[in-house]
Amino acid sequence: MSDDRSPATPHPAKPTRRIDAHSLRGLAHPLRMRIFELLSLDGPATATLLAERLGENTGTVSWHLRHLAEHGFLEEETGRGTKRERWWRRVGVTNELNISDFSDDPDSRGALSVYLRELVRQYFGRVMNYVSEDWDETWRSAGTVCDWRDLRLTPDQLRAMNAELRAVIERHTPDPDTDPAPDALRVVVQLQSFPRRKRDTA
């Protein structure tokens, strides 16, 4: 499970960090994950700006920013701001979480549960924002919210399908050194593919 994907070759791939139990516990907090999401999607910000967006106390946000930095998720943007008002940005790596890494670690189950539940809330919140906002017809017709329910796959087939879908996204990921088109906006692609047990309807 990865929170983002590197551009496809020939673009240089971003470094990848595999989240371990220590870093998972550093990230697995609802407010820290919301802070990390905002910095990932909207770029650098100060504790004051983040507090305004999140409806939180600036001191609380500052504490969580430092905590995220201690665990290697954020870094201070040097040469910007003041001693009293620091700017923070996401560290330029792809974070990858493999759930199987924690299957034999009971001490990490609580943190893993918090992380996964908050991640799903973030995904849901992004979709709700999209459907609630006023978009012109050009963008509204370009976006999609859909699902498919008729697939019958083995674990190997599901993994293969996910790999193909990721490859499609990577082909459309622009070179970070190339200026985007004037009418281009950031696009979030959310892929959720998972097995479903049949429920007894009797």
In the structure encoding, which two tokens stand for residue 116, read together? 């996964």
Q: What is the mean pLDDT of the chain?
A: 90
Q: State the residue for tokens 């008002």.
A: 85
Classified as helix, coil or strand, 112 is helix
- Percent pLDDT > 70 in the chain is 92
Q: State the residue for tokens 């791939």.
A: 13
Classified as helix, coil or strand, 67 is helix
**Strands (DSSP E) found in the chain:** 16-18, 45-46, 74-81, 86-90, 94-96
How are beta strands 16-18 and 45-46 bridged, if at all?
A: unpaired
Nearest Cα residue to 74 out of 89, 96, 87, 94:
89
Identity of the residue numbered 152: R
Identity of the residue numbered 200: D
In the structure encoding, which two tokens stand for residue 103, read together? 């299957």
DSSP 167-187: HHHHHTPPPTTSPPPTT----
This prediction's pTM: 0.84
pLDDT in tens, 106-129: 999 999 999 999 999 999 999 999
Q: Write down all domains in the chain, each with its CATH number in brackets.
A: 16-135 (1.10.10.10)
Which residue intervals of 72-153 are DSSP H helices?
109-132, 137-142
pLDDT in tens, 27-44: 999 999 999 999 999 999
Identity of the residue numbered 174: P
**Which of 15-19, 79-83, 93-97 is least confident?**
79-83
